[in-house]
Amino acid sequence: MQAGSKLLNALSAAALSSTVLAASVITLELGTMPQAFAAVVTRIEVRGNQRVDAETVRNVTQIRSGQNVSDADVDAAVTRLFATGLFSDVRARQAGGALIIEVDENQIVGEVIFQGNNKIKNEQLSAAVQTATREPYNATTAQADVDAIRAAYTRIGRSDAAVSVRTVPAEGNRVNVVFDIQEGDRTRVESINFVGNNAFGDSRLKEVITLRESGLFSFLQRNDIYDEDRLRADEEALRRFYFNRGYADFRIVSSVAELDETKNQYFITITVDEGERYVYGNINIDSTVPGIDGETLRGDLKTKPGDVYSAEQVEDSLLDLTNAVANRGYAFAQVTPRGDRDFANNTISIDYVIDQGPRAYVERIEVRGNTKTRDYVIRREFDVSEGDAFNQVLVQRAKKRLESLRFFKTVNVSTAPGSQPDRVVVIVQVDEQSTGEFSVGGGYTTGGENAGPVAEVSITERNFLGRGQFVKVSAGFGEDTRSYNLSFTEPYFLGRRLAAGFDIYRTENSSSTAYDITRTGGSLRLAAPITEDLTAQVAYNYKEETFGDKDGRLTNPFTGQFYGFDATGMPIASTCANPTASGFAPGLAAPLYTQSPIINQAICDSPYTTSSVSYALTYNTLDNQQDPRDGVFGQVGQEVAGLGGDAQFLRTTARGSWFSLLSEEYDVIGQVSGGGGNVTSLGDDLRVFDNFFKGQDIVRGFKYQGLGPRQNGVAIGGTNYVNATAEATFPLPLVSRDFGFRGAAFADAGSLWGVDNVGDQLGIQGDDFALRASAGVGLIWASPFGPLRVNYAVPLAKEDYDRTQEFSFGFSSRF
């Protein structure tokens, strides 16, 4: 029993000893572990640095002498050193109390060289890459620059451009970075196909988007260049197109651009789901704001029951309602449209709900992305400013205004919370585009004073010096004509929405066999918007006209000799020497200058000055100013001459055009236009050149100055005119729309009459009203040089003394 107890005691003692020993070992290991992974650094040694100061390296590591440093601290220090971009390699190790850091410095870039580039200039490529002179060379950055250069070439239609980068050693531990570029051929858009479209054909949808298939003149217009951003923008254009034509469920299933590398061509396929077409159902205005009766606001709505649904009309109604409510003193009221689809009847009922919105104010407007355009040019398009009540509808209207300036590729407006719960920061992000244009155009015209071949050279800048100002300088040249023009417009004169500007011009015309005409003048103008669609304009105009050859003299068109005789009957080089009342020179059977005494008298008054004030009202709702398909354009104005100068008259004119899409599927556009005018003398006489001279500009099928009063066969103009036109234009069958051709069928009617000139009235015809009419067809070409048009018109009603011309060719003008 004792032996067993002794054995038990011995085992217990051994176990206790083992436990104490194990605990001691664990304690010893735990005590020495921090010394293995964290040691005190007494100094930091930097090795391998040549340009970078050692103290700079120490500061970047964020490790100080006397600090306990772990492996994680050392790794973090190495990461920070790499992040500076100054080193190609960094190594760190601890030796005793020293932290040794070895670095291999990146070489400094001496020059950045682009070789093989012709289509993109060095300055443009330099802006696209990050590698820069006097900066450390980084291989990763250089490779990213290669991708950036490729992207730049893709944007100009050269997707197969090959780019590589290499370095060339230079003096002073520097390196020159060379980008070798093989630009390749242009990558063209071979075809654009639509899948799933039933309401509109491919040709109609191709006009909606900006991308074009490669054609004969693609090298001039550059619209067959594939760019992913352009394709995304075209997707949005298609959505807007369908949404504004009743297809509220429209969606783009996919848009794929496939590159055939063997042919270097893109094939684009856009798959759509049109959905059903909707019309408006019930339209209501519900107001929860005391003092606002929704029924009194119905006049501000653009949406009407039974009309085809249009997202744009809903937006316009929303904007007009918001303005109407704000004008009544409810700055924080919100208008929200709520749509209710009836799938069975394909109708959308809309309730415009007016609620009292949260009281939020604009804290500030931040403008980003503008490098050329001044901030104030962007800010002034907002009807709200810092401190005003925040209104999302007015912000979106400012976005539309900015887009219509054509200064920017894209405009994005977003909001962010301000410093207080009731403060909002409006962020405007823009991507600028080129606003300058140098153009050279030419053509041939059969009408007007510039008949014959014509050419024009012009330089236009829509955003002059980033101030939003418009400047255009142009010079025109014809067979017998010269013209020079300078125009300037400040769209926000004195910080207000007043467009102020001036025009200066000079024209020289020697097409007449009897005399040359030189006109020199200019105008000062001011325009103010009354509403979004109605504008008022006032201008002061000054013009001086001279008649004669280059020396100021007039010649006999029959003999080529200068007119005028002295007292003995000998001819002298005098312009208007002793003309008789009938306009004939003494001793000659030939007329003085023309066969019209009235014209002769006006020529003898040369030089002749006109000083006038004009004013006009313009109403414009056209959907597109260059190629309208829908909307109304109207203008009425008067010009009062007599503020100094020789002329004294009151001229009143009016014109208007209405456009409508007659067939959406076939893209047939209808136009009805009309106009008229009257000029009345405010003095003793009305000079003949102050009359209206009309011809093919109001009734096609007649010559320039081909209709209206004449004296002895010479056009003397009239004091009154009226005209009307009905026209339909359409795409040409079997001709790709990418060529820009359209056909036209038209009918014109008009008249020019009235003679109120002092002088010999013998031989005058056409003093009374007589209707002229014609019908014909035309061919319109949206050429790279500008719109051109050829017409064939047959006069249906005319007078015997009129001058007709069935074919006419010249620059197209829609209104």
**pLDDT(4) > 90:** no
Q: What ranges in 310-374 are assigned the alpha helix state H?
A: 311-327
Residue-level pLDDT at 11: 38
- Gap between the Cα atoms of 199 and 274, Å rounded: 8
Q: Which of 482-486, 569-573, 624-628 has the lowest mean pLDDT?
A: 569-573
CA 232 from centroid of its chain's CA atoms: 18
Q: What ranges in 328-473 are assigned the alpha helix state H?
A: 375-379, 392-404
Q: Which of 218-227, 231-240, 273-282, 355-364 has the lowest mean pLDDT?
A: 218-227
The two structure tokens encoding residue 64: 């100080």
Q: Are 173 and 106 in contact (CB under 8 A)?
A: no
* Position 576 confidence tier, pLDDT thresholds 50, 70, 90: low
- Gap between the Cα atoms of 515 and 599, Å rounded: 11
Higher pLDDT, 167 or 393: 167
| Whole-number Cα distances in Å, 201 to 32, 224, 254, 311, 665 | 83, 20, 18, 22, 7
Q: Which of 171-175, 176-180, 322-326 has the lowest mean pLDDT?
A: 171-175
CA 47 from centroid of its chain's CA atoms: 58
- Classify residue 454 as exposed, middle or buried by CB count within 10 Å of its CB (0-12, 13-18, 19+): buried
Q: Are 290 and 261 in contact (CB under 8 A)?
A: no
- Terminal-residue alpha carbon distance, the chain: 130
- Percent above pLDDT 90 for the chain: 40
**pLDDT(104) > 90:** no
Residue-level pLDDT at 813: 45
- Gap between the Cα atoms of 454 and 713, Å rounded: 28
Give 511's DSSP letter: -
Residue-level pLDDT at 186: 76
| Whole-number Cα distances in Å, 697 to 18, 562, 692, 752 | 119, 34, 12, 12
Mean pLDDT for 221-245 is 84
Residue-level pLDDT at 40: 86
The two structure tokens encoding residue 775: 């019908």
**pLDDT(570) > 90:** no
* Position 447 confidence tier, pLDDT thresholds 50, 70, 90: low
Q: Which of 21-25, 320-324, 345-349 has the lowest mean pLDDT?
A: 21-25
**pLDDT(439) > 70:** yes
Average pLDDT, the chain: 82
Q: Are 213 and 189 in contact (CB under 8 A)?
A: yes
How are the residues of the chain apportioned to helix, strand and coil, as percentages rounded to the nearest 5?
Answer: 20, 45, 35
Q: Which of 226-230, 318-322, 366-370, 644-648 has the lowest mean pLDDT?
A: 226-230
**Strand, helix or coil at 13?**
helix
**pLDDT(555) > 60:** no
Buried b (16+ CB within 10 A) or exposed e, 379-413: ebbbbbeeeebbbbbbbebbbebbeebebbeebeb
**Strand, helix or coil at 695?**
coil
**pLDDT(273) > 60:** yes
Residue-level pLDDT at 760: 53
**pLDDT(82) > 90:** no
Q: Where are the beta strands (DSSP E) in 370-513?
A: 408-417, 423-432, 436-445, 452-464, 469-478, 481-490, 499-509
Residue-level pLDDT at 541: 97
Phi, psi of 170 (to 5 degrees): -135, 175
Q: Which of 120-134, 191-205, 773-787 has the lowest mean pLDDT?
A: 773-787
Higher pLDDT, 526 or 224: 526
The string of pLDDT tens digits covering residues 701-751 is 998 888 999 888 888 899 999 999 999 999 888 777 767 789 999 999 999
pTM of the predicted structure, to 2 decimals:
0.68
Q: Which of 160-169, 495-504, 550-559 has the lowest mean pLDDT?
A: 550-559
Higher pLDDT, 570 or 405: 405
